[in-house]
Structure 1
């Protein structure tokens, strides 16, 4: 299960959705709009019901997994969980000698190996592939899963974010995933295993100040969909993990050492003209909104995300997509939760509201005063 929601909740919501669908169909049989609503309820009910179908479980013995981004966050916890249940684990770390990576020495078993891996470097990824390939051959194992988890975030309105920052986020979140996937495809095809790619709910809808992160995750999401189509003929499965508000459990909450440093990072990346247009108070307000979101609106336990990853790795019939983020995200049909079925003017309302919460840029304040 990708959330903490129990089976009784799924049963209740399945009955509710299907009952609404039947009721609308009976009372408004001649209305096309009513029948469309009934269809939406019926499909939502079926979407919830399929979560109750057992998908079987594989055994980890004789299988290895390679995970990127294991220094902290999801990757770190997933590597330890995989180790605990019996997998041979290769934990890809950007800083293999760092304090976070070295925690594996005390927390993990001999089945867990730290692998230096910078997903933005061709040489680093190929060296990681060589190490993993030689080890699984020597130990007579199959590389069963490759988990593309490495990721970074940067915030700021488009006008504030330098091109090099956009490129950096894309290089890690998108091209890093592609680079690792292409390197490990032969081993995964050989074992008829699977890829597990971590994107985000922001791959489908993204709030103001999140353009760099959102576009990188949407590109990774589409890449993963196409990868699933192309790997099908080889018997390889591909699952997408889309975490919701779990920023407090990842490096997003530790973007830099303090809120002030993060605001300074945005401010110092702006040229003088852009600084004059927006003003420092506006930048500080952006940082404050992000900090408040991490502090008050994010989940503090990422166990549901790790559970989804484990299900994607071990299930005989893994889901194509795991939307992890509480009751609504787990129950609703994904296309509805992504606003794809709403008109743009309607889906824009919450986004424009969040934009308004940031206040008014300095130049616009001056313009309003003069008017």
Structure 2
């Protein structure tokens, strides 16, 4: 049985901390999600091939919870986030938000559904329109989602949300290039918050910022979670940030979810060989020789292996790891791993 089916049952017993409540138990449930991207090896005559960017991924996020997602570059984290909000199409699987499958054939995503899910992007400068002032950028979202409000009420809402993220009303007529990186990211957060979402998908929200500003943004996100009962899908390679915010942690590799469980348990006792090396690398900045290096086999072929980490794994078993996909197993309370060798 693959991770897509078994993990769904096991995750029903996961962490449900947080002030929010969901009528269906989870605010977000992803089931067997697949996103395949077409890539060309050359400009004119190169062969076209398919990359399994997200390959049969399943997980749940409870109301008020923060699920952290980590993995090296190219592991599928950002593709997963963009597929959830339907910025890119998924070829199959379910994206169930508030009990509605956003990926079902013929489903109509209403304005209210869009309001409930907002995304914060990695680069705050690129996520804001350079030709729009702060007031216009946030006010546009207010006008779209609250058309019944008059101009005065819309402006008041903009001022209130700026105050919520720690920005003065005096920046309302400024453009993105007149703001610092930290201020731009706060504006992006304010624009997401002004429509009163329930789920925020944060794609590396601090990685483009100075270290001194990163802590301020993390503290802001933590306070907003506490005060507004928000739910986060938090993508990051910053372990201190993940440990600070996340209730649970999911590890992605080559489009697959290889391990998921309580944050502290995974950080202290990682079970999958890839998770062990990834955490060691992120903590020290230096990977064990050859373990996180690229191998000669192209990524499109590695994804077809039973275990995409097979060629880089020092513990691999020939004839097993390269031919039979491991079944997801619960090796501790809420701690699930897809590996033949884990927990043994």
Q: Structure 2 length as normaliser, TM-score?
A: 0.32
Q: Identify the structure with bigger relative contact order (alpha carbons < 8 Å, sequence gap 6+).
A: 2
* Structure whose residues are more often strand by fraction: 2
Larger Rg, first or second structure (1 or 2) = 1
- Structure that is richer in helix per residue: 1
